[in-house]
Structure 1
Amino acid sequence: MLLLSDKSMVFDHADPYAVSGYVDQHVGHHCIQLPSKGSVSASLSHRKFASMDLCRISYGGSARVTSEALETIYHLQILLKGHCLWRSRHNEHYLAPGELLLINPDDPVDLTYSEDCEKFILKLPVSLLQATCDEQRWKVPDKGIHFTRNLYALPELESLTRLLGLVCLEAEADDNALQTQEHYSRIVASKLLTQLGSNVCREQPLPQAAPFEHLIEYIEANLKQDISAEHLAACAQISLRSLYALFERHSGSTPKQYVRERKLARIHSCLSDPNCHVRSVTEIALDYGFLHLGRFSESYKNSFGELPSDTLRRRG
């Protein structure tokens, strides 16, 4: 997984205090402690991407990074190499490569890097997540958005990992317009809020023992969201087994298959309609949660007999 390349390099084998000063300005306020003996050299790649910051950093030596709290930002950190000791209010954990740490704005920061430690950091402002909740009409507690689980293994978050890879590629592209950056930023925020545990209430309960028609209306109104079978069952207040039986009886498919087919149908309708504003096939695919563009194109062709780019081109 490539998260920022040398194309975004700002410091290479540099004074770690100079790197720390840059991080302090662009990524988050902190204090750094380095070994009193020996010389170390740090490296850093950085890109500003709409309201987010993307950072790849290594200090080249054992370094302890602390902060009372991030206050107005969230940090998503992925360990790429080495190890990193994370001390929280209640325990300690050694992060291994392939682990993700989510730090809330009110969480104290206490991280000790190994000499070979390298990590990717995504900085997101509180305002971005709040705006995403407002847009989706999700309920946020008065005290603000708080992620209730801090640690994840990347295999648990395959679609999020692919999305971050796409964001880094877009950030390093020569034609990354601000409007495109903001589009990706909203998708990242929505993906975090749907995939990671938080105190945000996304549930919109349907009437008791909701019939199939109500479920279909809900799906049609939320096609741009991740709609799992578990979420549909909770909304309908029925068991997962009853949900599968309901879809088999009425549609001859599983909930997942039905949602996927409806997403593809909506995309096909937009690509075919000259009055529907579509900037590119990639953006509309991402809008509806298709992060693997090759598989998306294949599924689309199997359903409609042509590639999505052909549909868009044909409408003139």
Structure 2
Amino acid sequence: MQMHLLSERSRVFVQADPHAVSGYVNQHVGSHCIRLPRAGQPQASLQHRALASLDLCSISYGGSVRVTSPALESIYHLQVLLRGHCLWRGRGQEHYFTPGELLLINPDDPVDLTYSDDCEKFIIKIPTRLLETACQEQRWQYPGQGVRFLRQRYQLQELEGFVPLLSLLCQEAEALESMPKVQEHYAHILVGKLLGLMQTNVQRGALGASAATFERIADYIERNLKHDIGCEELAQQARMSLRSLYALFERNARTTPKNYIRQQKLQRVHACLSDPYSPVRNVTELALDFGFLHLGRFAQSYRQQYGELPSDTLKRRH
């Protein structure tokens, strides 16, 4: 499967002893044990980067290696199969993962995976506290036993916008100048995307009326970012007065409706500029497409939010 993930700049091991690679993984990505095949001498390779509180890695063991762990405890694993196949065993089930499939491992799930000789995986380690924070920010009820992904297997093509997001995470992780606030922003986007796209035990229906209304308005804004969205229109959508609308945004987003819309537009522009698959011809055309008529102010706002000019983001993706 072709994706722009970690590059050679993130290479830590090349055709190395699998036990050495496993030791590194235990330290940075998650505790586990490996069992090597009786015959042959597998050569393992690993790329690794930290991104805020996430860890990103691409790994191949070069042989039919079995990876086990009683549980990951305080972390989730998001694993995408890039090449080969991988046999997963869990809670009385078995499944052969093929390229383009994604596995989400909950903190209390036992891990039992067998790699094929040509298997290569991309793995993201996600601390449990990130999902708790995301639930608090969205005013969702955080489950007493923690967030659980009820469905653990997905095809990447099922998850809208997920492949470009993974590419963006890797680009930011490999950026020459680390910007902690931007990295944390990306980590929160990833977790929000997971909770929004995948089946979990998080109860969104337990939201209060005001928060539920804000969620509907946020969805409306997301669907109409290329249009000129006014506060009167939002108030009409929410069936409330302008004064109530401003109070709603202050409670839920700590900002005004106008500022929230501008931030969401900037976020979408940044995603388009960063995505190598997005058909962006130039910054001006994209900015106008999202309603930024004053290009100087747009560039200034973009730089304040992302620490660089939009033209720099576009150049870096090539």
Residue matched to 2:109: 107
Residue matched to 2:143: 141
Q: What is the alpha-carbon distance in structure 2 between the residues aligned to residue 15 and residue 302 of structure 1?
A: 51
Q: What is the alpha-carbon distance in structure 2 between the residues aligned to residue 194 and residue 38 of structure 1?
A: 44
Residue matched to 2:313: none
Alpha-carbon displacement from aligned partner over 1:105-162 (angstroms, at most 9, x marks no partner):
0111000000000000000000111111112211112111001100000111131221
Q: CA deviation at 1:219?
A: 4.0
Residue matched to 1:301: 288
Q: CA deviation at 1:309?
A: 4.8
From 180, 190, 193, the counterpart of 2:192: 190
Are positions 1:291 and 2:277 aligned together?
Answer: no
Matched residue of 2:205: which SS?
coil
Calculate the aligned-residue CA RMSD, in Å: 3.3
- The number of residue pairs the alignment matches comes to 266
Matched residue of 1:261: which SS?
coil
Residue matched to 2:81: 79
Residue matched to 1:123: 125
Write the letter of the residue equivalent to 1:304. G
From 227, 235, 246, the counterpart of 1:261: 227
> Is the contact between residue 264 and residue 300 of structure 1 (CA under 8 Å) also seen in structure 2?
no
Residue matched to 1:154: 156
Residue matched to 1:22: 24
Q: CA deviation at 1:285?
A: 4.4
Are positions 1:48 and 2:50 aligned together?
Answer: yes
> Is the contact between residue 77 and residue 105 of structure 2 (CA under 8 Å) also seen in structure 1?
yes
> Is the contact between residue 68 and residue 111 of structure 2 (CA under 8 Å) also seen in structure 1?
yes
Write the letter of the residue equivalent to 2:298. L
Residue segments in structure 2 that go unaligned for 5+ positions in a row: 232-255, 304-318
Q: CA deviation at 1:9?
A: 0.2
> Is the contact between residue 285 and residue 291 of structure 1 (CA under 8 Å) also seen in structure 2?
no
Residue matched to 1:202: 204
Matched residue of 1:291: which SS?
helix
> Is the contact between residue 265 and residue 290 of structure 2 (CA under 8 Å) also seen in structure 1?
no
Q: What is the alpha-carbon distance in structure 2 between the residues aligned to residue 312 and residue 51 of structure 1?
A: 30
Q: What is the alpha-carbon distance in structure 2 between the residues aligned to residue 88 and residue 62 of structure 1?
A: 18
Residue matched to 1:31: 33
From 281, 298, 303, the counterpart of 1:312: 298
Residue matched to 2:97: 95
Matched residue of 1:107: which SS?
coil
Q: What is the alpha-carbon distance in structure 2 between the residues aligned to residue 264 and residue 114 of structure 1?
A: 55
Q: CA deviation at 1:179?
A: 1.4
Q: What is the alpha-carbon distance in structure 2 between the residues aligned to residue 263 and residue 299 of structure 1?
A: 17
Q: CA deviation at 1:185?
A: 0.7
> Is the contact between residue 31 and residue 67 of structure 1 (CA under 8 Å) also seen in structure 2?
yes
Is the alpha carbon distance of 1:85 and 1:309 closer, same or farther for their aligned partners in structure 2, counting shifts above 3 Å?
farther
Residue matched to 1:132: 134
Q: What is the alpha-carbon distance in structure 2 between the residues aligned to residue 52 and residue 38 of structure 1?
A: 34
Residue segments in structure 1 that go unaligned for 5+ positions in a row: 208-213, 229-254, 266-274
Q: What is the TM-score when the length of structure 2 is the normalising length?
A: 0.74
Q: What is the alpha-carbon distance in structure 1 between the residues aligned to residue 139 and residue 77 of structure 2?
A: 24
> Is the contact between residue 163 and residue 188 of structure 1 (CA under 8 Å) also seen in structure 2?
yes
> Is the contact between residue 99 and residue 152 of structure 1 (CA under 8 Å) also seen in structure 2?
yes
> Is the contact between residue 67 and residue 110 of structure 1 (CA under 8 Å) also seen in structure 2?
yes
Identical aligned pairs, as a percentage? 49
